[in-house]
Structure 1
Amino acid sequence: MPDLKRTPLHALHAELGAKMTEFAGYDMPVQYPMGVLREHQHCRGQAGLFDVSHMGQVLIVPRTGAIKDAALAMETLVPVDILGLSEGRQRYALFTNDAGGIEDDLMVANRGDHLFVVVNAACKDADIARMTDKLSDTCEVVPVTDRALIALQGPAAEAALLPIVHDAPNMNFMDVITVPSDFGPLWISRSGYTGEDGFEISVKANRAEDLARALLADVNVAPIGLGARDSLRLEAGLCLYGSDLDTTTTPVEAGLTWAIQKARRLGGAREGGFPGHDTILRQMSEGASRKRVGLLPDGRAPMRAGTEIFADETSQTAIGTVTSGAYGPWIEAPMSMAYVASEHAQKGTVLYGEVRGKRLPATVAALPFRPAQFKR
């Protein structure tokens, strides 16, 4: 598809034998010759290298030079304590709308004199427009267009990065650093989207392939495509925007209130002040009518997105819908995430998904399906 955008690693994907697919307007690797199942297991057991250069990278630079002004400006868009974010640290955040729905989820890092934001590929144009519109009086919003983004994930990630970044072992989960390297300055966070320990590395686009090759030279590192990235994040209980989160889903329904710190909650130092705060804070106090849950279907077949969920085998009215579903290679079982009516969301509840005209049982389970391995 000649109209698709290409990342700086596109030629390397072709050389490595990747099967390519369209994703968010980009030509992206869905899998390599190893195959999705083995790629998933390799990342869990050793380390995987992901091209995530399609994501949006943005700098928020305060016009006054004071980072607190950028932080307070961002707090008008997200229900997160950005002012309390220490230098060299990163937080998960959510853009919300006036109805309390989620416009995108993102990462925000404090890099001393500016904020560094990473947003989802499918939403980045709208996100950049939103930030430009709302923040320009106090901040310069600068899209980063000359850098690639690489994720190195898995228990062997630290050892693989160590020859390039000697400070890697000193980083904890959600730390961010900028370091010189043989591949130019690297912007690194100890984070990721797999539930594994690992790093996300922003590198100049013209050095991205060299860096990727250096990491792949480690016997424990293998290239991983979008197929395994999806099953890895689902095992880790992590949401995919556009599937598990959207403009009609609130942070409370999604089980993401842990991302709303005390300062932004009822009675906090900077209570509210973000889009949809009335709805979100009310739901935090009173509860929401539906909740995101994990489901473990009986048998070996996953319940895919769109599967309707019922309270029993005979009722005519659905009480929920699956938003993501796949086979979990590490847990060796099918797994799904769904939104169900709150009264049916208790762990251990048996619900029924309608698959090809049949009601099949699935048990509400705690998320994540596999505990996170982050370095705390």
Structure 2
Amino acid sequence: MRRFSSAANLFKQTKLYDFHVKNGGKMVDFAGWDMPVSYSNLGALASHNWTRQKASVWTGKDHVKFLESLVVADLVNLPVGSSTLSVFTNENGGIIDDTVINKESEDAFYVVSNAGCADKDLAHIREQLAIFKKNGGDVNVDVLDHVSLVAIQGPSAAKVVEGLAKTNLDKFAFMTAKKLELAGIPCYVSRCGYTGEDGFEISVPHEKVVELTETLLSHPDVELAGLGARDSLRLEAGLCLYGHDLNEEITPVEGALTWTIGQRRRKEGGFLGAEKILPQIKGGVSKRRIGLIVEGAPAREHTEIYADGKKIGEITSGCPSPTLKKNIAMGYVQNGFHKSGTELQVKVRNKMQKAVVTKMPFVPANYHRV
């Protein structure tokens, strides 16, 4: 289902589009999709309902080898039922997209990518798949275009999902996934999210997504929240937004995502761009992603960063933090200016303001550990 905006731009729509509009969603273009930035009831920052699409299942005797050729994670040693955040890289070491990969079984991986990058991701995967198969590889990639993804985030998320699943979730750890029936609806549920809070991302058949969402909202602790709240929460959590904080010109090391590169992969390589990325781990990089606390007005994307009157970088994300009551930002600076406590300046409306390099996350995470 699609619509034309007033500007005659064609945006894709999720299966919750009519639901969003019905519930007062202010719809905006988000990476080519019609998505709610906010709702008329203002929502609640602690509870998120955010939809994105595009998931795939990878099978075949060489599925591990093929997927590891595209991402930096150690998938051989990933336990069944566990998930990992990783990145697709290109030949130059840049990040094509970030992704969550779950080892559904010894024979299959469940991969979720960003809807805004779906077309690009699939084109890249299919190109590499054709080469892999031509060389004798055995792997199948099935795109799950019949499911939607609904996220519920916040301290009450577990209580809400437990009630629908009618089972205790204490042993359901952060970054693991399993099949559950929620209010009688078969779902694939991952305990993860992009807010720094405990929560779940729920894959649900398109025809059941509105029913499930309305069931979630029937709980008194659940409110709708749009992309505006999601953005401030993920920034407080120090998490990147692709297309802003990450892109195809930035490597995982420059993006402070070295931790996503498995130890075995650091020794063996075998993924696209490894020849550029791996030397950076020991040899360093020319720029680094940092967090900043900014005095004065908020420093938004593309705000210039200075040290002693010299431009040394640029803001990629920034907003007032509702939790800290301070202005926070994320950006890239020249190597050497990245250490916590370093005093810098940002140029906002042609006025220099003080900014201090700060460790991320800005707000401690509340992930469920077992």
TM-score calculated relative to the size of structure 2: 0.93
CA change 1:34–1:332 in 2 (3 A) is farther
Distance in 2 of aligned mates of 1:252 and 1:290: 9
Other-structure match for 1:121: 115
Distance in 2 of aligned mates of 1:182 and 1:358: 55
* Structure 1 alignment gaps of length 5 or more: none
2:37 matches 1:24? no
1:283 to 268, 280, 285: 280
2:168 matches 1:163? no
8 A Cα contact 2:48 2:154, kept in partner = no
Deviation at 1:183, TM superposition (A): 4.3
8 A Cα contact 1:49 1:152, kept in partner = yes
- Residue deviations 1:287-344, cap 9 Å, x none? 1111110010113x210000111102xx2x4101000001110111110001001111
Other-structure match for 2:307: 311
Counterparts of residues 238-277 of structure 1 (less than 5 Å): 238-266=239-267, 271-277=268-274
Distance in 2 of aligned mates of 1:172 and 1:252: 27
8 A Cα contact 1:103 1:247, kept in partner = yes
3-state SS of 2:170 partner? helix
1:39 to 39, 44, 49: 44
Other-structure match for 2:7: none
Other-structure match for 1:196: 197
- Residue deviations 1:201-256, cap 9 Å, x none? 00011011111111111101101101101000000000000000001111111110
2:20 matches 1:13? yes
Which contiguous aligned blocks of 4+ residues in structure 1 show a shift greater than 3 angstroms?
A: 180-183
3-state SS of 2:155 partner? coil
Deviation at 1:184, TM superposition (A): 2.7
Other-structure match for 1:83: 76
- Residue deviations 1:161-193, cap 9 Å, x none? 112122533210011101234443200000000
Distance in 1 of aligned mates of 2:182 and 2:320: 39
2:271 matches 1:298? no
Distance in 2 of aligned mates of 1:211 and 1:49: 14
Deviation at 1:4, TM superposition (A): 2.2
Other-structure match for 1:350: 343
Distance in 1 of aligned mates of 2:158 and 2:241: 26
Amino acid aligned to 2:364: P
8 A Cα contact 1:80 1:261, kept in partner = yes
8 A Cα contact 1:183 1:211, kept in partner = no
3-state SS of 2:223 partner? strand
8 A Cα contact 2:70 2:272, kept in partner = yes
Distance in 1 of aligned mates of 2:150 and 2:68: 28
Counterparts of residues 51-66 of structure 1 (less than 5 Å): 51-53=50-52, 55-62=53-60, 64=61
Tell me the matched-pair count: 354
Other-structure match for 1:368: 361
Deviation at 1:144, TM superposition (A): 1.0
Deviation at 1:16, TM superposition (A): 1.2
Q: CA RMSD in A?
A: 1.4
Deviation at 1:134, TM superposition (A): 1.8
Distance in 1 of aligned mates of 2:32 and 2:365: 30
2:101 to 101, 108, 111: 108
